[in-house]
Structure 1
């Protein structure tokens, strides 16, 4: 027992004096972004070990160089059972010790330091090229990622409307049949522990198993939990920015809520006042928005007239024989800061990763059933529209996401470049989300 206490104290001391090597900050930012994007995958492991936060498994995956998900899942579940992971308490130093137990304390130096945990921190003797578990955990906490808010007690859960109990917070249509079950309205269950998960979900631990499982992820608006403060019915979104965020979360898109992080979201067929228009061809009738979270609430810090569709010229005279590109609705991590254009070169977000587009083979200017779908690098950039009149896109878009005015675009670039992730890494890859204004208001109608 004395030895166990001594080693926990040692890890506590190391953790409290831990610092991250500055050369690893760009790599740590990439790891953090990938962990948040893949959160649902790690929640599937948390389903079995609710005492351990999802990102603990993500850290293990990262130090294993993000090996194949199936391979990692088999490896991690087998190893967790051998180290009795269900007994790991919610304390950072003990969880760091558990990382080393997971790795069988391999590579210890004469001070008991293992690279698996402490690489990339001030506790190693070299300038490391890859971070260990402690460096990643330190960075995640530094950007504000903490354990989910939790509540213990004896609560009565009532299913208010037909819903789905799931093994993670991913949308139901992304889960296999054995990862979810349908539950009818009126079902009543006893809850002993619950936590706030992402995308408006709760992670609940039941007093007795339901369909052989005690832990389930449930969409919060579909249930009522008597006596719980965490599960209080969420306020319905009222403002346009609240509706945009709620819609993105409902779709399963990633929303960055850390201080200073920018969310780039385009809304097709919507006016600046939040009303819909007829989304006519060759008109600047879409919105380019940037949203940031301040004090936990979304704030629209930029909104400009834009187009997400090609103009009439390129619809009728496409650069690709299969038809002009119209970007598919969805979310893409695909743009870096660079230069756009030859005749009027200017700073823009330039495509650096694939996106998916519809090929407008019938020259209608709309996404029509049966037309080809194409994915790849097509020069789908986010640039300016040269101050063209609102009624004429002209040759300013062959399928890019374009802000109508030069000044508005300069404002947009200044805002997105102030993102701390870009400030730390000039090669940062930005994410943008393109949504349908009609679908947005269908889910969250005007008040």
Structure 2
């Protein structure tokens, strides 16, 4: 998985950190298009003091839960973090003033989905917004594994498992001791490939239907 992640980051011209314990934090948005499931992943990888790569994969969501899709806080709809790399846009702080998490400290871009249904409208670009919206990286419940997102994410990246999140915080605090309180977060959207396939299939169906209609008219 390390080689694949490095290949993806290099192909997009994104930063890759190779200093010991300087974290590469990459969210992978899955191809699945339904809401309310922790079906994404957060990958965290870094080199240790011996120069060896260490790689972690954590179950998470990069999408808001169904509650916030149906009850958006913003008139244009609930935020989805847009794919891209946000360099030094995060720091360790308190999520909602309650517990330690990675919190947004610089502008990021989001897409707002106004459909408010459980199937995301990835054929449409939606309303793009850039700013500081509190798109943090935090956990769901205090203990155990959370299975349904619901109101645990209004656009944040959220860990499903509390122990995974605690491990992530320990790594983040090591990073902060060595490199200061700035973190880069990258989001890779695997739905792009699914969307392209669906669009090609849709255009193929339209072309086939148009050809059949033309043939019928000629006959």
Query: 2:200 matched to which residue of 1?
Result: none
The unaligned stretches of length 5 or more in structure 2 are 195-219
Quick check: 1:316 aligned with 2:85? no
Distance 1:440 1:251 in 2: 15
CA contact (8 A) 2:21 2:171 kept: no
CA contact (8 A) 1:306 1:402 kept: yes
Question: Aligned with 2:151: secondary structure?
Answer: coil
Question: Per-residue deviation at 1:328?
Answer: 0.4
The one of the two structures with greater contact order (alpha-carbon pairs below 8 A, sep at least 6) is 2
CA contact (8 A) 1:388 1:394 kept: no
Query: 1:384 matched to which residue of 2?
Result: 139
Out of 103, 110, 130, the residue aligned to residue 375 of structure 1 is 130
Distance 1:417 1:373 in 2: 32
Query: 1:258 matched to which residue of 2?
Result: 19
What is the number of residues matched between the two proteins? 188
Greater strand proportion: 2
Question: Aligned with 2:170: secondary structure?
Answer: helix
Query: 1:416 matched to which residue of 2?
Result: 172
Distance 1:367 1:297 in 2: 39
CA contact (8 A) 1:358 1:367 kept: no
Question: Aligned with 2:54: secondary structure?
Answer: strand
Query: 1:397 matched to which residue of 2?
Result: 153
Higher Rg: 1
TM-score, normalised via structure 2 length: 0.78
The unaligned stretches of length 5 or more in structure 1 are 1-239, 270-276, 442-447
Question: Per-residue deviation at 1:406?
Answer: 1.8
Distance 2:85 2:16 in 1: 10
Out of 190, 204, 208, the residue aligned to residue 437 of structure 1 is 190
* 1:115-154 matches, cutoff 5 A: none
Quick check: 1:341 aligned with 2:102? no
Distance 2:130 2:94 in 1: 22
The superposition leaves residues 139-197 of structure 1 with CA deviations (integer Å, 9 ceiling, x where unpaired) of xxxxxxxxxxxxxxxxxxxxxxxxxxxxxxxxxxxxxxxxxxxxxxxxxxxxxxxxxxx
Question: Per-residue deviation at 1:293?
Answer: 2.9
CA contact (8 A) 2:23 2:44 kept: yes
Distance 2:121 2:37 in 1: 13
Q: 1:366 to 1:292 in 2, by over 3 A?
A: farther
Query: 2:29 matched to which residue of 1?
Result: 268
TM-score, normalised via structure 1 length: 0.40
Query: 2:109 matched to which residue of 1?
Result: 356
